[in-house]
Amino acid sequence: MKKVNLLNLKGEKVKDINLNDKVFGIKPNKNVLYDAIILARASLRQGTHKTKNRSEVRGGGRKPWRQKGTGRARQGSIRAVQWVGGGRYGTPVPRDYSKKQNRKERIIAIKSALAEKVNEKYVIALDKLVLKTPKTKEMKEILKNLKVDDKKVLLIVKDFDENVILASRNLQNIVLISADEVNVLDLVSTDYVVATEDALKQIEEVLK
C-alpha cells in the first residue's frame, strides 16, 4: 500500500497516511495517458482560424486584360491567389479539433497520472489548508515550508476558501483546483501535487 507523509503548514510531519492502491497504486498506462493529454490539449483549441479563398474575396469579377496580344501572362481575375489582395489557397478553415475518449479510459488516465506522481514522490499531503489572511506572503511562506516555492505546484482542495483563492491567484507557479476538477493536463504540467487530506479522500472515493 502506498504511503505519503501528512504534513502541517509548517512542513512538519504529522503522521503517515495510506493511499488507495486502486487509485494511486496502479501501473501507469502510458498509452491511455498520452491519448488523454492529446485530447485535453486539442480541446483548448478554438478552431476559429479562417482566411478568405478566391470566391470570398471582394472584387475581381472582370478579366483584367484580354487573353491574347498584350505580351503578358493570361489572367482571369485580379483576385486569383497569385495577386496581391487575392484569395488564399490551402490555408486554415474553421474546424473542430475535439477528440473522443470513453469514460473508462479517462479515469485510467487520471489514475495513471496520479500514480506517476506518487511513484516519483511528487505528492505532498496537508492536514489542512487554512489561511489567517488573504495575503500572497502567507501562501509563499507555506510553499517555502513545504520546499516547493520554486516549483510549479498543483494545489488541490476539497472546498474553495476565499483566503486561499486570493492568496494564490497572484502566484504564477500555483494552479488551484478543487478535488472534483482533477484532470490529466494539470497533473502532468505541474511538478508537485499538494493536496489536503480531505481532497485526497474525495479523489479516492470518485476514482476507486
Per-residue confidence in pLDDT tens, the chain, 208 aa: 788 999 999 999 988 899 999 999 999 999 999 999 999 999 999 999 999 999 899 988 899 999 999 999 999 999 999 999 999 999 899 999 999 999 999 999 999 999 999 999 999 999 999 999 999 999 999 999 999 999 999 999 999 999 999 999 999 999 999 999 999 999 999 999 999 999 999 999 999 8
| Exposed / middle / buried, residue 153 (Cβ in 10 Å: 0-12, 13-18, 19+) | buried
Cell match 481575375: residue?
77
Ranges of H-type helices in the chain:
21-24, 30-43, 103-119, 136-145, 162-168, 184-188, 197-207
| pTM exceeds cut of 0.85 | no
Domains annotated on the chain, with CATH = 2-30+98-207 (3.40.1370.10), 46-96 (no CATH)
Q: How many CB atoms lie within 10 A of CB 15?
A: 11
